[in-house]
Amino acid sequence: MAVYYKIIKDHYIDSLETLAQTTKLCDQPGIETGYVGMATQTFKDIVSEIGLACDQILAASEGDYVVAAKADTEEAFEKALKAISESASGASSKTRQTYLTVEQAASARPQANLCQISVPGEFALDVAKRALNAGMHLCVFSNNVPLEDEREMKELAREKGLLCMGPDCGVANINGSALVLSSIVNRGPFGIIGASGTGIQHVTAMLHEAGSGVSQAIGAGGNDIKEQVGGITMLMGIDALEEDPETKYLILIARKPAPSVLEKMLERLRSCRKPRVVYFMGCDRKAIEDTGSIYAGNLDECGERALELAGLACSLESEEEILALARKEAEGFAREQKYLRGAYSGGTYMDEAMRVMVDKIGPIWSNAPLEEAWRLEDSLKPRENACIDYGEEEFTLGRPHPAIDAGIRRPAILKEAADPEVAVITLDFILTPPGHPDPAGFVVPDIIKAQEMARERGGKLVFIASLLGTTADYQDIRLQEKKLRDAGAIVCRTNYRAALLASEIIRLIREKA
């Protein structure tokens, strides 16, 4: 076993592509570990940490592309290199024409009608204006876009009658497509307008799973409902979907809008002619119901209420079923096992889970806590009942989000399992077309090993997982669920239910003690 590397000078490959190549490289026979990337300082730090650094890599410049691996033989490394280069050329359409500017692309294909923008935040406005001036609607995934830039691009879009989804729009389904990080879902009668990516994906997946689907899902971006932006996209989305003949029902999802924006939305909802379900997190029930809309108090309820409008139902576990399962699972722990640990890849889901848990078992320590007093000093040293969001910047600096890069969260499983006081570990899995091809399978060996470690100590470790995705996603949610169940994990239908089960088990352990 030795370290091999290949450096190509001045060869730029974007971070999603290098990540896909890293996954492919590590899967090749004779490769123990490997890493692919542009030779930035972050890349050099990572290869040093995993024992792949050498003088040549450390001396490479930021414009250089590097493949490094610990391999059985040079031949195995060469074969692996061939495999990743074949997969790269296969993944990117060979015939796709590339252009230097938005204007060039627009004049080459005047029918192009949507521009998907994922550039650093400070450059997003410039690209957005070019696309709007070329007559295209926008889906802006870039985040860290200054609010004044967001306002400007949305005002220009409104003036031109074009839709501006985002900035920070990770989830949108237009004309049956799954843009950016959305799940692939069936088409159907529900039009969704949301300012929460996970929220939209959660509800679209529920609709799909119940045999229905979406006409259009419009992602407004989390900042749309702030005072400075004024809900421009949310309001335009309501106008458009109200006119759209394919949309029979509306669903609105957002964190609580700023007061002036909420007022505008409630006023608009009062005159809305289509049946609608509204989930504004933390918003007063009466205010929503007074507009003639159906109120939802959480994401699961939002999906359930919407399906009821169409005479459909989804099969979520009842609270009684979860409590019964908790009683069964609360047996067999070692005396010192009394805490839960959550390792989350999505901030929205962790937040939802902690709100459920805190009601049952009190404070939840975290790197993004519900209350400042519960903030962990060191995210790598969780204490008592704790949840960690692996999508926070401290983990993602220089790497894509854990919904795409499953490797970010993986070490957490065995680390938490090594703590003899831990009884329950919760994990969320988010399926997305550009994401890891097998996020559940990727961590199964660790889940099995973690349970063995607990058994050797005379106890047991309960893994509770929830998955966000659909049967149409390339990873196939049923297949992913099966892998986790086969490894001994409990799979709940939703994140809310997983959190309820986990915290009820801990509550019962505490009660017995």
Partner 1 sequence: MEKKTEKILDLFRSELIVVNVGPKSFADVLEKQGFETLQVDYKPAAGGDRRMMEMLEYLGGY
Stretch 17-46 residues interacting with partner 1 (CB under 8 A)? 17, 20, 38, 40-42
Site for partner 1 contains 112 (CB under 8 A) = yes
- Site residues for partner 1, 372-391, by CB under 8 A, read 391
Shortest Å, Cβ 24 to partner 1? 13
In the shown chain, the binding pattern of residues 418 to 447 toward partner 1, with x for contact by CB under 8 A and - for none, equals: ---------------xx-------------
Given the complex with partner 1, which of 30 and 437 has the nearer CB atom? 437
Shortest Å, Cβ 215 to partner 1? 8
Shortest Å, Cβ 289 to partner 1? 27
- Site residues for partner 1, 280-319, by CB under 8 A, read none
Shortest Å, Cβ 376 to partner 1? 19
Instruction: Name the phi and psi angles at 84, rounded to 5.
Output: -75, -30
Q: How many residues does the chain have?
A: 513
Angle at 351 between CA 330 and CA 234, to 5 degrees: 140
Given the complex with partner 1, which of 170 and 188 has the nearer CB atom? 170
Q: Tell me which stretch binds partner 1 (CB under 8 A): 307-315, 400-408, 441-449, 455-463.
A: 400-408
Paired strand residues for 164? 138
β pairing state of 114-117 and 137-140:
parallel
Paired strand residues for 424? 340, 462
Q: Tell me which stretch binds partner 1 (CB under 8 A): 168-176, 300-308, 352-360, 418-426.
A: 168-176
Shortest Å, Cβ 58 to partner 1? 15
Amino acid at 350: M
Is residue 258 a contact partner of residue 226, using CB atoms and an 8 Å limit? yes
Contacts of 29 (CB under 8 A, 6+ apart): 76, 79
Shortest Å, Cβ 364 to partner 1? 22
The DSSP H or E segment spanning 172 is: strand 171-172
Shortest Å, Cβ 108 to partner 1? 7
Q: Tell me which stretch binds partner 1 (CB under 8 A): 85-93, 147-155, 319-327, 367-375.
A: 85-93
- Site residues for partner 1, 216-235, by CB under 8 A, read 216
Q: Tell me which stretch binds partner 1 (CB under 8 A): 64-72, 373-381, 399-407, 448-456.
A: 399-407
Site for partner 1 contains 457 (CB under 8 A) = no
Q: Residue 61 corresponds to which tokens in the numbers above? A: 């410049």
Site for partner 1 contains 105 (CB under 8 A) = yes
Amino acid at 314: C
Is residue 350 a contact partner of residue 344, using CB atoms and an 8 Å limit? yes
Long-range contacts, 131-134 (Cβ 8 Å, 24+): 131/102, 131/106, 132/156, 132/157, 132/160, 132/162, 132/164, 134/102, 134/103, 134/106
Query: Applying CB under 8 A, which of residues 86, 243, 263, 290 lies at the interface with partner 1?
Result: 243
Q: Tell me which stretch binds partner 1 (CB under 8 A): 136-144, 327-335, 460-468, 489-497.
A: 136-144
- Site residues for partner 1, 324-353, by CB under 8 A, read 346
Query: Applying CB under 8 A, which of residues 3, 25, 131, 314 lies at the interface with partner 1?
Result: 131
The DSSP H or E segment spanning 473 is: none
Query: Applying CB under 8 A, which of residues 401, 410, 483, 493 lies at the interface with partner 1?
Result: 401
Q: Tell me which stretch binds partner 1 (CB under 8 A): 47-55, 139-147, 316-324, 504-512.
A: 139-147
Given the complex with partner 1, which of 43 and 77 has the nearer CB atom? 43
Contacts of 42 (CB under 8 A, 6+ apart): 397, 398, 399
Of 97, 120, 167, residue with least CA distance to 15 = 120
Given the complex with partner 1, which of 240 and 334 has the nearer CB atom? 240
- Site residues for partner 1, 171-190, by CB under 8 A, read 174-181, 184
Shortest Å, Cβ 504 to partner 1? 29
Upper half-sphere CA count for residue 173 (Cβ side, 13 Å): 28
Site for partner 1 contains 362 (CB under 8 A) = no
Binding residues for partner 1, rule CB under 8 A, total: 86
- Cα–Cα distance for residue pair 478/467, rounded to 1 Å: 10
Of 325, 250, 298, residue with least CA distance to 494 = 298
Q: Which residue has the tokens 């290869």?
A: 47
Q: Tell me which stretch binds partner 1 (CB under 8 A): 115-123, 361-369, 457-465, 490-498.
A: 115-123
- Cα–Cα distance for residue pair 343/359, rounded to 1 Å: 19
Query: Applying CB under 8 A, which of residues 1, 48, 75, 99 lies at the interface with partner 1?
Result: 99
Q: Tell me which stretch binds partner 1 (CB under 8 A): 101-109, 330-338, 441-449, 498-506.
A: 101-109
Of 264, 251, 282, residue with least CA distance to 224 = 264
Query: Applying CB under 8 A, which of residues 6, 151, 187, 399 lies at the interface with partner 1?
Result: 399
Of 223, 114, 214, 113, residue with least CA distance to 169 = 223
Query: Applying CB under 8 A, which of residues 50, 58, 91, 324 lies at the interface with partner 1?
Result: 91
Q: Residue 250 corresponds to which tokens in the numbers above? A: 């509306």
Is residue 423 a contact partner of residue 462, using CB atoms and an 8 Å limit? yes
Shortest Å, Cβ 431 to partner 1? 12
Shortest Å, Cβ 440 to partner 1? 19
DSSP class of 442: H
Shortest Å, Cβ 404 to partner 1? 7
- Cα–Cα distance for residue pair 495/389, rounded to 1 Å: 14
Site for partner 1 contains 78 (CB under 8 A) = no
- Cα–Cα distance for residue pair 221/240, rounded to 1 Å: 17
Of 311, 329, 348, residue with least CA distance to 168 = 348
